[in-house]
Amino acid sequence: MSFWSDPIRVANEWLNGLLTDLLPQAWATLIGNVIGVVVVSSFGLILVIFLIWLERKVAARFQDRIGPNRAGPYGLLQTIADIVKLLTKEDSIPEKADKVTFNLAPIVSMIAVLLIWAVIPFAPGWIGTDLNVGVLYIAAVGSFGILSILMAGWASNNKYALLGAFRAVAQLISYEVPMLLTLLVPVLLARSMGMMHIVHDQSLWFIVLAPVAGVIFLVSSIAEVGRTPFDLIEAESEIVAGYHTEYTGMKFGLFFAAEFLHAFTVGVLFAILYLGGWRGPGAEQYPILGMVYLIAKSSIGYFIVMWVRSTLPRIRIDQMLDLNWKVLTPISLALLILTAILDKMFAETALRAPVLLGANVLVVVLSWAIIRVLSRRSRRERKVFKKRPEARAV
Amino acid sequence: MEQNWLFIGVFVAIAGVFPLLPIVIARVLAPRKPNHIKLETYECGMETVGDTWVQFKVEYYIYGLVFLIFDIETAFLYPWAVAYDVLPMFAVLEGVLFIMILVGGLFYAWRKGVLEWS
């Protein structure tokens, strides 16, 4: 195994040897862990700097602009300039705010996103730690993000911020339900919660076996990030900036960075759970290729997120909750039941993939028909309008 | 196994340090000239009226309750999905029955009008 095909393992072995020579075993393990953590989390943080530039550039293209192009080649240093600016901005804490919670909220929001990266398998053997409850862990630490928004909204003691936090309660926890249910589908198909195991099991990508679940996962994840069309928690035209109205300087910057990293993490999770993660030709021999595949596949999900963001307008809160509770949740429950029964009946047979795919198509057709019938009925009921008062010149 | 959770523990600590760092740097670099007007609650230039921490629209809370039921029940399904390979068809159907109860709960809430935003 040469250094260039698998640099992480080579570096890891070298470091391990060095540490066990110098220190007692317990200390060596601890320091090895610390180094691993610093590598993984700083990878995430450095990625953010690039992602913010990328998103601004792509969003600009969608809107027929050029985007940042002054600082550095292609405007690549724009984010660095922004960080320097944010660092030198005064940090004002409102007099009426709950100080401890107010200061803690941006930190918690960043922690919540960074923690997900601990179980992301980048390539064969490249993983922070391969927890055997990986998916459950992701669901668990993902909810910290909601907590941070609640903390920020509550502690600001500002009515707009509090409204943002209220909306976050309704929206984020609602969309957590279909997200959890569709996270369950890959677990069911792979028969494991370990992230590495799920990737290893995808000789056939799960998007083929469960395409509808994949789409629902992506949609509810977009809602979890709080991006347009689900950006009600920070709707600028309605409630100033939602939960981060009172935040200035670097604390606002942390919320901002956490949101961008979360959006990309959604792409990464989508790639791992449904698009086969690092799998690809030659990835087993040359793990560095696996990393390239993972980034490429994640970009698909991330690009969809950006595309949706710059295409769709914001939807109303009742529409958003209806979409979740009356469309996504029933469909994902039906999918879960169908997948569980059919996968048991056709496991290990050649029919497994076509049957599961057929079930997915069936679910889509059926739910489309039901939605059509229901919406037509409710439209008929709504036909009777009250006469509106006429506007008259006085 | 303990190795894995040691890693997570270290991760929590270090993930806490990373966002703390820019805040500390900003504290050193940034100017600090607070005054009363600057630190007032910002509500689009209007003076804030009354208390913010009041009881508000109850719908938000009801959605919270419905979520809680679903979240807990889904968490129970994870072990079932992991053991899926060794389960006989009967046990799988039992799991399906469990999901059907969940579906029943959803439709009950739906009919009761909990899911209507008024």
Question: What residues does each domain of chain A span?
Answer: 1-88, 92-393
CB burial string A265-277: b at 16+ within 10 A, e below: bbbbbbbbbbbbb
How many Å apart are CA A352 and CA A344, to the nearest integer?
Answer: 9
List, for residues A309-323, the tens digit of each pLDDT value.
888 888 888 788 888
Asked if A95 lies within 8 A of B40 by C-beta distance, the reply is yes
Which residue is closest to B1 within chain A, CA to CA?
A131
- The Cβ of residue A98 has, within 10 Å, a number of other Cβ atoms equal to 17
pLDDT band at B118 (very low <50, low <70, confident <90, very high): low
Asked if A30 lies within 8 A of B6 by C-beta distance, the reply is yes
> Is residue A83 within 8 angstroms of chain B, CB to CB?
yes
Tokens of A330: 């029933």
How confident is the model over A383-387, as a mean pLDDT? 60
How many Å apart are CA A309 and CA A289, to the nearest integer?
Answer: 30
ω into residue A124 within 30 of 0, thus cis?
A: no
What's the distance, CA B103 to chain centroid? 22
Amino acid code (one letter) for B68: L
The CA distances from residue B55 to A89, A162, A226, A234, B58, in Å, are 35, 11, 25, 21, 8
* Predicted pLDDT of residue A4: 67
How many Å apart are CA A186 and CA A130, to the nearest integer?
Answer: 17
Q: Which of A175, A11, A170, A314 is nearest to B57 (CA)?
A: A170
* Percentage of residues in chain B having pLDDT higher than 70: 98
Residues in chain B closer than 8 A to A248 (CB atoms):
none
Say if CB A204 and CB A353 are below 8 A apart. Answer: yes
The CA distances from residue A358 to A194, A281, A289, A311, A342, in Å, are 27, 28, 33, 31, 11
**The pLDDT of residue A290 is above 60:** yes
* Percentage of residues in chain A having pLDDT higher than 90: 1
**The pLDDT of residue A340 is above 80:** yes
Q: What is the mean pLDDT of chain A?
A: 82
How confident is the model over A184-191, as a mean pLDDT? 86
Q: What is the length of chain B?
A: 118
Q: Which residue has the higher pLDDT, A19 or A83?
A: A83
How many Å apart are CA B86 and CA B114, to the nearest integer?
Answer: 39
How confident is the model over B40-63, as a mean pLDDT? 74
Asked if B32 lies within 8 A of A91 by C-beta distance, the reply is yes
- Whose tokens are 């690039």? That residue is A50
**The pLDDT of residue B115 is above 80:** no
How many Å apart are CA A81 and CA A86, to the nearest integer?
Answer: 9
Give the list of residues 6+ apart from residue A33 with CB closer than 8 angstroms, or none.
B6, B7, B10
Strand partners, A127: A121
Asked if A159 lies within 8 A of B52 by C-beta distance, the reply is yes
Residues in chain A closer than 8 A to B22 (CB atoms):
83, 86-87, 250, 253-254
DSSP one-letter code for A327: I
* Predicted pLDDT of residue A3: 66
**The pLDDT of residue A133 is above 60:** yes
How many Å apart are CA A210 and CA A202, to the nearest integer?
Answer: 12
What is the interface pTM, i.e. ipTM, of the complex? 0.85
How many Å apart are CA A375 and CA B92, to the nearest integer?
Answer: 34
Helix, strand, coil percentages in chain A from 3-state DSSP, rounded to 5: 75, 0, 25
How many Å apart are CA B35 and CA A292, to the nearest integer?
Answer: 51
Give the list of residues 6+ apart from residue A323 with CB closer than 8 angstroms, or none.
A315
Say if CB A273 and CB A206 are below 8 A apart. Answer: yes
* Predicted pLDDT of residue A387: 62
